[in-house]
Homo-oligomer: A and B are copies of this chain.
Amino acid sequence: MSTRTPVARLRAHVGATVTIAGWVHRRRVLKSVTFLVVRDRSGTAQAVFGEPPEVTEETVVRLTGRVTDNPRAPHGVELTDPELEILCTPARRPPFDLYRPEVPATLPTVLDHAAFALRHPLLRKRFELAAASVAAFRAALDDRAFTEIHTPKIVATATESGANLFRLDYFGRPAYLAQSPQLFKQAMVGVFERVYEVGPVFRAEPHDTARHLAQYTSLDAEFGFITDHRDVMAVLRDVVAAMAEAAGPAAPAVPSPIPAVDFGAAQELLARHTGEDPRGEPDLSPAHERWLGAWAEREHGSAYLFVTGYPMAKRPFYTEPDPADPARSNSFDLLFRGLELVTGGQRRHRYSDYLAVLGDSAGQYADYLTAFAHGMPPHGGFAIGLERWVAQVLGVTNIRGTTLFPRDLHRLRP
């Protein structure tokens, strides 16, 4: 690899002759001078030519020139008298200009031309924020002696419910894409005590909404020897705090502890302050979550709000009930800016509880119940939707905008 200076580090080389390489981000031909703005992974920098070089935008180039102070240049520095080498000439004209400060294209255009469009610095930044957030998720859990696992994405039975499953031809037999690593990660608590997995999950979402995808990246954690769901909330708080710190100033700081409101109390609040009376409903609507998000911001100065004690009726079968009120659960959602970002809670750990709750369908879960038959500690966990996290941090209204190549009801490409 020939030596190359990232353009963001040019300032450290003023007076020296260096080589940079990247894409022609912008070509500006003025009367007596031509600027090429060159983009690489670190940023952009300007090179100055007397004669306009014969290159179009997105040409891949290598430039060797002198790093020169120029207070009027972006970042105060530019490359002068550059020698230009063309590494690759584009075969097609850009569908839109990458150098505009805002993305000059609609979401469908961006998605259709993803491999090109993601080169826009604003779009690329979303995925750098995602990568930093995932690294922080892992680091926070590594610090707590969690073990990373990789579980099957092809399964013989549904994990959550029979709905929204993608069906597969598995060597002539029916199989399904895993909707979550839930049952595997629980089983692995019996082995490693504390586990996490970062991986794709699949939902055959029949609805075309701004917040659902057919595939998304789930940040899953599960751990044993807890007292109840509050231990899970405490670990989650620290994990999200680490993610927020890694995501930078766009992510609001995470209070310690995150304010929490019981499901029943949340319904009381909604009944008292909104025109509606949701009491008796088993779940919160998206509009109610938004209202609660605004309420947490107002009352607690927090962008984050735990809602605890959801009715068992709407929680999956592996949820541990509240010992004081078996109609309520030891589970929670974490709302971030009024959107459900995380679902979690304490899980059932007694084999007999699973047999009782599953009834006739226990047989189809026999493999997964093995872990519980052989002794499992009280445990719990959570799952964070990565694309939702990034969308909420940056105020991106459609989750497709924080997915490299989204898959949905209508979109199977690019």
A374 interfacial contact with B, CB 8 Å: yes
A252 interfacial contact with B, CB 8 Å: no
Q: Contacting A150 at CB < 8 Å: which of B128, B149, B154, B386?
A: B386
A375 touches B188 (CB 8 A): no
Q: Contacting A352 at CB < 8 Å: which of B91, B166, B170?
A: B91
A127 interfacial contact with B, CB 8 Å: yes
Q: Which residue of B lies closest to A410 (CB)?
A: B171
Shortest Cβ gap from A47 to chain B (Å): 17
**A115-123, A312-320, A324-332: which lies at the B interface?**
A115-123
> Which residues of chain A (161-182) have a CB below 8 Å from chain B?
166-171, 173, 175, 177
Give 22 pairs: A residue, B residue, CB < 8 Å, sorted on A: A1-B234, A58-B374, A87-B377, A88-B376, A88-B378, A90-B351, A90-B373, A91-B352, A114-B187, A115-B188, A116-B190, A116-B370, A118-B191, A119-B374, A124-B192, A128-B192, A135-B138, A154-B412, A166-B168, A168-B177, A198-B198, A199-B199
B370 touches A113 (CB 8 A): yes
B88 touches A377 (CB 8 A): yes
Q: Which residues of chain B are within 8 angstroms of A414 by Cβ–Cβ distance? A: 367-368, 370
Q: Contacting A173 at CB < 8 Å: which of B90, B113, B412?
A: B412
Shortest Cβ gap from A374 to chain B (Å): 5
Q: Which residues of chain B are within 8 angstroms of A84 by Cβ–Cβ distance? A: none
> How many copies of this protein are present in the complex?
2
Q: Which residues of chain B are within 8 angstroms of A373 by Cβ–Cβ distance? A: 90-92
A300 interfacial contact with B, CB 8 Å: no
Q: Which residues of chain B are within 8 angstroms of A60 by Cβ–Cβ distance? A: 375-377
State how many residues of chain A have any CB contact under 8 Å with chain B: 99
A152 touches B226 (CB 8 A): no
Q: Which residue of B lies closest to A386 (CB)?
A: B150
Q: Which residues of A contact B (CB under 8 A)?
A: 1-2, 4, 6, 21, 23, 40-42, 58-60, 87-92, 94, 113-116, 118-119, 124, 127-128, 130-131, 134-135, 138, 142, 145, 147-156, 166-171, 173, 175, 177, 184, 187-188, 190-194, 198-200, 202, 204, 206, 214-215, 217, 225-227, 231, 234, 349-352, 367-368, 370-378, 386, 404-405, 407, 409, 412-414
Q: Which residues of chain B are within 8 angstroms of A142 by Cβ–Cβ distance? A: 135
Q: Contacting A131 at CB < 8 Å: which of B148, B154, B386?
A: B148
A193 touches B40 (CB 8 A): yes
Q: Which residues of chain B are within 8 angstroms of A190 by Cβ–Cβ distance? A: 115-116, 119
B374 touches A116 (CB 8 A): yes
Q: Which residues of chain B are within 8 angstroms of A198 by Cβ–Cβ distance? A: 198
A225 touches B4 (CB 8 A): yes
A168 to B217: give the CA distance in the assembly, Å. 19
Q: Which 3 A-B pairs have the closest CB atoms?
A: A367-B414, A115-B371, A115-B187
Given A115-B370, A377-B21, CB of A349 within 8 Å of CB of B169: no
Q: Which residues of chain B are within 8 angstroms of A374 by Cβ–Cβ distance? A: 58, 90-92, 94, 115-116, 119
Q: Which residues of chain B are within 8 angstroms of A150 by Cβ–Cβ distance? A: 130, 200, 217, 386, 404
Shortest Cβ gap from A214 to chain B (Å): 7
Shortest Cβ gap from A146 to chain B (Å): 9
Q: Which residue of B lies closest to A123 (CB)?
A: B191
A59 to B351: give the CA distance in the assembly, Å. 12
A98 to B367: give the CA distance in the assembly, Å. 19
Q: Which residues of chain B are within 8 angstroms of A177 by Cβ–Cβ distance? A: 154, 168
Q: Contacting A154 at CB < 8 Å: which of B40, B58, B215, B368?
A: B215
Shortest Cβ gap from A380 to chain B (Å): 11
Q: Which residues of chain B are within 8 angstroms of A412 by Cβ–Cβ distance? A: 154-156, 170, 173, 175
A226 to B115: give the CA distance in the assembly, Å. 20
Q: Which residue of B lies closest to A376 (CB)?
A: B88
A204 to B114: give the CA distance in the assembly, Å. 28
